[in-house]
Structure 1
Amino acid sequence: MAPVNKAASLSEPKAYPLKIDSSPYPTAGDGEIIVKVAAAAVNPMDWYIQLLGNDLFNWIQYPYIGGTDIAGTVVEVGPNVSKFKVGDRVVGLAGGFKPRFGGFQNYAALEVKTVTPIPDDLGFAEASVVPLGIATAACALYQKDFLALDHPSLNPKPNGKTLLIWAGASSVGTNAIQLAVASGYEVYTTSSPKNFDYCKQLGAARVFDYHSPTITQDLIEAFKGKTCAGGFVIHQGSEKIVFKVVRQSQGNKFVACAVNPTNVPEGVQAKMVFAGTLRDNEVGPLIFDQFLPAALSQKKYQCLPKPLVVGHGLEHVQVALDKGKSGGVSAQKLVVTL
């Protein structure tokens, strides 16, 4: 008999609060595992979907179960899966918008191509902060039609190039800094002054105050004599500055954007990044198979921003969404344990 599954779901567009009810127990398809969810992180997309519903994505089917960042224990292994067995502790990026993949439930299906094993001394809540952040950053940094950077390694050698990452203390920025440094790049980033030390601890060489009235000129000056590896925009509204800096620097004139780029100046290329695309190219295995397992076990990759555990149980998912929506969470990621 299948275990009893419960989920926190949206029964219809813009429903509030989330409904906690029984949900079909997922079966493991080809290349999939079933995970008993121990922790799920909350991302802005989760509260935007609740707030905006079909105005944001008109193809969402209801009931909808959110949650893209999942950590837990493997309870079932599907056909053609050799890299995991029942009992393994894992963290993964949930795939797509089907209910069976959502993290806000007791049991979820995961495609193994975006799952990584975690060491025994790494807590589920700590691990759960990584998947969407690292996937978004990796797509921007390594995909051939984006920044196409050198691949990360456990013992990187400096390559003499400097990357600009806007919003280094964000979840995506946190992962982007660590990946870029593991790939041998010098990283210049921006944050509020209270997060300068945090960004430096991640490996950033220099951190600039993004509220400074002279930020554009400061960055242009800083890149003089440097070979620019390109830019990565994470926060809406910063594109204009990054475009200007990259355009006036020597090197790669490409800017990867976690937002939709508009008014891209002549001489600069910019494209919006989507985390899920690494499922279909070499970047997925590069991160989840080749780099992350060893980096986590050898303590060469930090699971940050730190989890802020909102509570234990599905009823706390709505609390976490509300907290995220209200803002004020800095250099932390909201997590619910199950």
Structure 2
Amino acid sequence: MAQNQAAWLTGASVHPFRVQDAPYPTAGPGEVVIQNAAVAINPVDWKIQSYGIFITEFPSILGEDAAGVVVDVGPGVTRFTKGQRVLAYTHGLSTKNITQTSFQKYSVAAEAVTAAIPDSLSFEQASVLPLAVSTASAGLFQDDHLALPFPSVTPSKPTGKTLLVWGGASSVGAAAVQLAAAAGLNVISTASAHNHELVKSIGASAVFDYNSPTVVDDIASALASADVAGVYDAISLPSSFEPIKAILEKINAKVGIATVLPYSGESTAHFAPTSVHAASIVKEPHKKVSDAVWRDFVTKALENGHLKAKPDPEVVGKGLGDIQKAVDLLKKGVSAKKLVVTL
């Protein structure tokens, strides 16, 4: 049997990760085992390590984004076979399911949040998508969130509705822009000025600079005559809460606001009752949404260009020993890219 290793978090707020042997995972019902070729880093990774949040039992393993090759399939798996190239959302966050995390050589992933990747897509590119797709789709499509129509791999009939995505150059924001556009919505978004063309290239009809002193008035004007379906806040910090609130007040719109979970402790309570939380890294989308997005959309959309692996990956290390370096780099901040480590 192959030997597994992982970058272990050995205690609350302990730095650095410790690379050592890990249990070799077994695929249970509806699961696959993946030999990871590339893993991506997310803000929640450095926040868990720095703030000591979420994880209560140690040692543990982090990581939510995986791309690699299927090496085993569990009972009931029908969509994947050994040797397939896939991307997967690995979401375990406790010692009870450390095999379902990506900072290790071999990971378990649920078939429901795994998708085959075309030969034209590298593992590094594919690894930027899993958490972003799951988080965006939960907020956009679940009945208890914005409940938008599902995306289509063929051009969707316009719904006549407009969605505001705050933070369209972030990984979650880029996924939200693309999924909403593929569902037939008109999408307007925000990004730094140098990222406007990127966000337009993935489906936004208009992009506004969130640093502009007139951003509230500019977006309110753009939405004044629109049928607003809601807001997806991919940033979910006071810097996004306040302008979104001001925009909706200006246009007198009472709509749902999907927010990612506020990992750094900021409260979204002042949005109630219109605010709804996107089910983020601690919970995969509901089955109906997983089927519509992961089973029916992701692979075909990657093949025909309706879904792009954005923002671009930036490989900053090779091997589990470089996971800590990558997490530290992300903590310092990045713009319109996602940090990746190859394994």
Q: TM-score w.r.t. structure 2 length?
A: 0.93
5+ residue gaps, structure 1, are none
| Correspondent of 2:314 among 305, 308, 323 | 308
**Cα pair 1:243 1:255 within 8 Å, conserved:** no
| Correspondent of 1:336 among 307, 317, 341 | 341
1:261 maps to amino acid: T
| Correspondent of 1:295 among 285, 290, 301 | 301
Which residue of structure 2 aligns with residue 192 of structure 1? 192
Distance in 1, matches of 2:175 and 2:167, equals 11
Q: Percent identity?
A: 39
Which residue of structure 2 aligns with residue 242 of structure 1? 244
Say which SS state the counterpart of residue 263 (structure 1) adopts: helix
Which residue of structure 2 aligns with residue 109 of structure 1? 108
Deviations 1:111-130 (A, max 9, x none): 11100011122110100000
Alignment of 1:249-288 (within 5 A): 249=251, 253-258=255-260, 259=262, 260-264=267-271, 269-275=274-280, 276-288=282-294
**Cα pair 1:38 1:124 within 8 Å, conserved:** yes
- When residues 273 and 15 of structure 1 are mapped into structure 2, their CA distance, relative to the original with a 3 A threshold, is same
1:226 is aligned to 2:233? no
5+ residue gaps, structure 2, are none
- When residues 280 and 228 of structure 1 are mapped into structure 2, their CA distance, relative to the original with a 3 A threshold, is closer
Q: TM-score w.r.t. structure 1 length?
A: 0.94
1:32 is aligned to 2:8? no
Which residue of structure 2 aligns with residue 83 of structure 1? 79
2:56 maps to amino acid: I
Alignment of 1:156-235 (within 5 A): 156-235=156-235
Say which SS state the counterpart of residue 335 (structure 1) adopts: strand
Q: CA deviation at 1:297?
A: 1.6
1:303 maps to amino acid: A
Q: CA deviation at 1:279?
A: 4.2
Distance in 2, matches of 1:152 and 1:132, equals 17
**Cα pair 1:228 1:250 within 8 Å, conserved:** no
Q: CA deviation at 1:224?
A: 1.4
Q: CA deviation at 1:70?
A: 0.4
Q: CA deviation at 1:63?
A: 1.2
1:322 maps to amino acid: D
Say which SS state the counterpart of residue 162 (structure 2) adopts: strand
State the superposition RMSD in angstroms: 1.5
Q: CA deviation at 1:305?
A: 0.6
**Cα pair 1:47 1:321 within 8 Å, conserved:** yes
Q: CA deviation at 1:92?
A: 0.5
